[in-house]
Amino acid sequence: MRFPSLRHFLPVALLVLFVAAPLAAQDSTSRGVRIGLTYDPGSKPGVAVLPVTGATGDSVRAIVQRDFDYGDRVNPIVLDATAASEASRATGPNWPLLARLGAAAAVQITPTANGFHLAVYNVAKKQTALIRDYATSAAPQSRAWRAALHGISDDLEEAFTGVRGIAGTRIVFERGKRIWMVDSDGDGATPVSDVGTPMSPSWNPSGRTIAYSTLVPAGISVVDLSTGRSRTLVSGAGVYISPIVSPDGANVIYAHGVDAGVDLYTIPLSGGSPRRLSVGRGSDNVSPSFSPDGRRIVFMSGRAGHPEIYTMDADGTNVDLLTPLDIGERAYRASPDWSPDGRLVAFQSQMGGTFQVLTINLRDRSLRQLTSDGRNEDPSWAPDGRHLTFVSDRTGVKQLWVLDIETGRSRQLTRGAPGRVPAWSPRLSAE
Amino acid sequence: MIRRTAVLSLALLSVAALDGCRRKVVPAPTPVATNSTSNADSLAALRARQRADSIAAAERAAREAAAASDRRSAGEAAAVLSQKVYFDYDQDNLRDDARATLDAKVPILIANPSVTLAITGHTDERGTAEYNLALGQRRAAQVKRYLTTKGIEDARLSTQSLGDSQPAVQGTDESAYQQNRRAEFQVSGASALVAPRS
């Protein structure tokens, strides 16, 4: 599952024309090619997206430039009209111009009958670094067509920086008693399910199904994103809350309670009998999140009299209090989400009469406050472990936002009616 | 009921007797010796009739009043059963006002053994959506626990939570929050409620 998005793209030709030592070797953790670029240490490589021909050219260029911008690892160098007209010559890229603009690389994408043709140029070396063809039959401007371009952006980010981008990922969330899905760039928001007052969607690691809870009737359901059909996994009296799918895709962990508190349960995703994991003794135990290796679960529990973050083994044993009790003016910590690299847990804490998003380092338990503007809650990690989506009311309406925890840069992801309980997808296969 | 039937029969007999007298009196212009007796008899019958009429009227009024009272009592009983209880912030314990509200439901539930209550816990919008669902469930369960300690059968009380998803009122001040931190009751299982007899 490491390299899913390539499956449907069928690279027709993959030709590395130039390989720079020592960064040239194929990165064994990546399916892509690492392109050694020359740029200042500590800065982001500047990348110019050259003008794209054809009716969809402007869209293609805008989407890829925006992907670079939102990815926060590549600095998209926007060419003004004059520069754009001079950036390409009959003989090839205008190397002096690109160098003057600060581009370490230039990207030329050309729509073809079968998809897209990609050429990447290394400006410092004045050479072609990569040529590749991407096949897609999706209609221009469709969600799948945009996904194909996001896949190119993510490949390029990986080639430039060694870390795959997140442009091709999506976020699910609740809005107006429906589950919605939106692309990581904020485009294409569409409802996924409206059955049973759904809440708390979460991704199957396969990226193909979404587990969610329903309030009326109370239960846990799973919707297949390709068919839109939902099936009920478990339901009954009381309340069902916050399902998640285990990293191996085998089980669903969720919170459930009737008359004696709310505890965490596990049930096979294929169906079966639930088994209780937590021993809450009448307290609330909700919002579980798996460690990437699937061996531990972080969750919120009210067992100490107020909501705090705890960890336990996946079988419910070895419970530890994670969050220290002396942060914020009131003890209320909730909504933990384990980072994909396993190092951090993001959560929300009551501070200054409202909620802020923080991370806690699992090694030394050091805390870092990530937000301060408005009420901020429900953090969920992007698969790159660097971006978080969360809910903020900083504009007056609860919307989803995206934060780059390295630069502190944030952007609004959703607009319109209020949204909440977002969950960021794993890396997705292209449609 | 037997007594009431007897009184009604007596009243009907008196009216029949009076009618007979009236027909006898009108065509007989000449008084006879027996007339005084006859007059005395008809006066007695009139009095009896008047008394019977007033009894019947009083009983009719009483019946109507009782029916109206029953209707009112049924309405009041339904209102008492569905009366909400309120909670403090992030709490599921029952305040005095909540206990009083629940205490008022107990005799009605006892007098109407077929009635069931669906208890739904709600929260204000502070706190997380997922925690609020758990908190709402805890509130509903606390209400159920209290009613069962007062003798209401477990099987007649179901619990669920809507968390903060269905606020009673919109708003972000304490007054709105207080109205939203509640348990609601849906009454079912009886076409007409009987008021408890004290």
**A347 contacts A335 by C-beta, under 8 angstroms:** yes
Q: Hey, are the CB atoms on A421 and B134 less than 8 Å from each other?
A: no
Structure-model confidence comparison of residues A414 and A323, the more confident one? A414
Nearest Cα neighbor of A276 from A294, A255, A291, A297 is A255
Q: Kindly list the strands in the beta sheet with A239-245, ordered across the sheet, starting from the edge strand earlier in the chain.
A: A239-245, A251-257, A263-268, A275-276
C-alpha to C-alpha distance for B118 and B157, rounded to whole angstroms: 6
Predicted pLDDT at B9:
44
> Chain A interface residues facing chain B, Cβ-Cβ under 8 Å?
174, 177, 197, 199-200, 213, 215-216, 218, 237-239, 241-242, 255, 257-262, 284-287, 300, 302, 306-307, 332, 334-335, 348, 377-378, 420-421
Count Cα atoms within 13 angstroms, Cβ side, for A303: 18
Position B10 pLDDT exceeds 50: no
Count of beta carbons in the 10 Å neighbourhood of residue A296: 18
Q: Which residues of A touch B161 (CB under 8 A)?
A: 215, 218, 238-239
Position A129 pLDDT exceeds 80: yes
Count of beta carbons in the 10 Å neighbourhood of residue B59: 13
Q: Hey, are the CB atoms on B134 and A255 less than 8 Å from each other?
A: yes
Structure-model confidence comparison of residues A81 and B71, the more confident one? A81
Q: Hey, are the CB atoms on B130 and A241 less than 8 Å from each other?
A: yes
The letter for the amino acid at A84 is A
Can you point out the beta strands (E) in A123-278?
127-135, 170-175, 178-183, 190-193, 198-203, 209-214, 219-224, 230-235, 239-245, 251-257, 263-268, 275-276
Phi, psi angles (nearest 5°) of residue A416: 100, -140
B90, B144, B160: residue with CB nearest A239 = B160
C-alpha to C-alpha distance for B131 and B114, rounded to whole angstroms: 34
CA-based diameter of chain A, in Å? 76
Q: Hey, are the CB atoms on B134 and A257 less than 8 Å from each other?
A: yes
Position A229 pLDDT exceeds 90: yes
Q: Which residues of A touch B130 (CB under 8 A)?
A: 199-200, 241-242, 255, 286-287, 300, 334-335, 421
Nearest Cα neighbor of B170 from B161, B179, B182, B162 is B179
ipTM: 0.86
Which of A195-199, B143-147, B190-194 shows the lowest per-residue confidence on average (mean pLDDT)? B190-194
Q: B24-47, pLDDT tens digit by residue?
A: 444 545 555 555 556 777 888 888
- Got the DSSP string for A252-303? EEEEEESSS-BEEEEEETT----EE----TTSBEEEEEE-TTSSEEEEEE-T
C-alpha to C-alpha distance for A207 and A426, rounded to whole angstroms: 6
Position A420 pLDDT exceeds 60: yes
For an interface test with B, the pick among A220, A259, A332 (most B C-beta atoms closer than 10 Å) comes out as: A259
Which of A18-22, A136-140, A377-381 shows the lowest per-residue confidence on average (mean pLDDT)? A18-22
C-alpha to C-alpha distance for A328 and A326, rounded to whole angstroms: 7
Q: Which residues of A touch B147 (CB under 8 A)?
A: none
Q: Which residues of A touch B134 (CB under 8 A)?
A: 239, 241, 255, 257, 261-262, 284-286, 302
A419 to chain B: nearest residue by CA? B129
Phi, psi angles (nearest 5°) of residue B107: -60, -30
Enter the DSSP assignment of B59: H
Nearest Cα neighbor of B117 from B127, B125, B109 is B109
In DSSP terms, which residues pair with A275 in a beta bridge? Answer: A266
Name the minimum distance, in Å, from the CA of B198 to any CA of chain A.
32
**A297 contacts A291 by C-beta, under 8 angstroms:** yes
**A292 contacts A248 by C-beta, under 8 angstroms:** no
Structure-model confidence comparison of residues B193 and B36, the more confident one? B193
Q: Which residues of B touch A238 (CB under 8 A)?
A: 137, 159-161
- Residue B20 pLDDT level (bands cut at 50, 70, 90): very low
B90, B133, B141: residue with CB nearest A259 = B141
The pTM for the full model equals 0.83
- Residue B97 pLDDT level (bands cut at 50, 70, 90): very high
Count of beta carbons in the 10 Å neighbourhood of residue B24: 12
- Residue A20 pLDDT level (bands cut at 50, 70, 90): very low
Q: Hey, are the CB atoms on B161 and A215 less than 8 Å from each other?
A: yes
Q: Hey, are the CB atoms on B160 and A218 less than 8 Å from each other?
A: yes
Predicted pLDDT at B65:
83
- Residue A328 pLDDT level (bands cut at 50, 70, 90): low
A259, A261, A421: residue with CB nearest B129 = A421
Mean pLDDT (whole number) for A94-104? 95
